[in-house]
Homo-oligomer: A and B are copies of this chain.
Amino acid sequence: MEYFPAPGRNHLFVPGPTNIPEAVLQAMNRNNEDHRSPAFPALSKSVIEDVKQLFRTQTATSFIFPSSGTGAWESTLTNTLSPGDKIIVPCLGQFAVIWINLMKRLNFDVDVIESEWGEGVNLDILLQKLQADRSHAVKAVCVVHNETSTGVTNDLGLVRKSLDEAGHPALLLVDGVSSVGAIDFRMDEWRVDVALTGSQKALSLPTGLGIVCASPKALEACKHVKSTRGYFDWREYLECYKAGTYWPYTPSVQMLYGLRASLDLILKVEGLENIIARHLRLAEATREAVKAWGLTVSAKKPEWDSAVVTGVVVPPWLDSNDVIKIAWKKYNLSLGVGLGKVAGKLFRIGHLGYMNELQLLGALAGVELSLKDVGYPVVLGSGVAAAQGCLSKQTPLIASRL
Contacting pair B380 A382 (CB below 8 A): no
Q: Which residues of B contact A6 (CB under 8 A)?
A: 356, 398, 400-401
Cβ of A7 within 8 Å of any chain B Cβ, yes or no, is yes
Cβ of A69 within 8 Å of any chain B Cβ, yes or no, is yes
Scoring A25, A29, A66, A106 by chain B CB atoms within 10 A of each residue's CB, the highest score goes to A66
Contacting pair B7 A32 (CB below 8 A): no
CB distance from A212 to the nearest CB of B (A): 13
CB distance from A243 to the nearest CB of B (A): 12
Contacting pair A206 B32 (CB below 8 A): yes
The answer for the CA separation of A5 and B371 in the assembled complex, in Å, is: 35
Contacting pair B400 A388 (CB below 8 A): no
Binding site for B on A (CB under 8 A): 1-12, 14, 16-20, 22-23, 25-40, 42-43, 66-71, 74, 77-78, 83, 102, 105-107, 198, 200, 206-208, 227-233, 248-255, 257, 260-261, 265, 269-270, 275, 278, 328-334, 336-337, 354-363, 365-366, 368-369, 372-373, 379-382, 384-386, 388-389, 391-392, 395-398, 400-402
Contact A9:B14 (CB < 8 A) given known A32-B206, A328-B38, A388-B381: no
Contact A32:B18 (CB < 8 A) given known A206-B254, A230-B102, A334-B37: yes
Q: Which residues of B contact A251 (CB under 8 A)?
A: 68, 207
Contacting pair B356 A365 (CB below 8 A): no
Contacting pair A7 B355 (CB below 8 A): yes
Which of chain B's residues has its CB closest to A278's CB? B7
Q: List 29 A-B contacts (CB under 8 A).
A: A2-B39, A4-B37, A5-B265, A6-B398, A7-B270, A8-B358, A25-B30, A28-B254, A33-B334, A68-B249, A68-B250, A69-B250, A71-B231, A83-B228, A105-B233, A198-B250, A200-B250, A206-B252, A206-B255, A207-B252, A208-B252, A329-B401, A331-B356, A332-B398, A361-B361, A369-B388, A379-B385, A380-B388, A381-B382
Contacting pair B372 A392 (CB below 8 A): yes
Contact A230:B2 (CB < 8 A) given known A332-B358, A334-B33, A354-B7: no
CB distance from A223 to the nearest CB of B (A): 14
Which of chain B's residues has its CB closest to A251's CB? B207
Which of chain B's residues has its CB closest to A381's CB? B385
Contact A9:B19 (CB < 8 A) given known A208-B252, A388-B368, A392-B380: yes
The answer for the CA separation of A332 and B11 in the assembled complex, in Å, is: 17
Q: Which residues of B contact A3 (CB under 8 A)?
A: 39-40, 42-43, 400
Which of chain B's residues has its CB closest to A380's CB? B388
Q: Which residues of B contact A17 (CB under 8 A)?
A: 32-35, 250, 253
CB distance from A260 to the nearest CB of B (A): 7
6 A-B pairs with the lowest CB-CB distances in the bound complex, closest first: A381-B385, A362-B362, A8-B356, A17-B32, A361-B365, A34-B334
Contacting pair A20 B31 (CB below 8 A): yes
The answer for the CA separation of A361 and B366 in the assembled complex, in Å, is: 8
Q: Which residues of B contact A329 (CB under 8 A)?
A: 397-398, 401-402
Contact A105:B358 (CB < 8 A) given known A252-B206, A369-B391: no
The answer for the CA separation of A270 and B4 in the assembled complex, in Å, is: 11
Q: Which residues of B contact A275 (CB under 8 A)?
A: 7
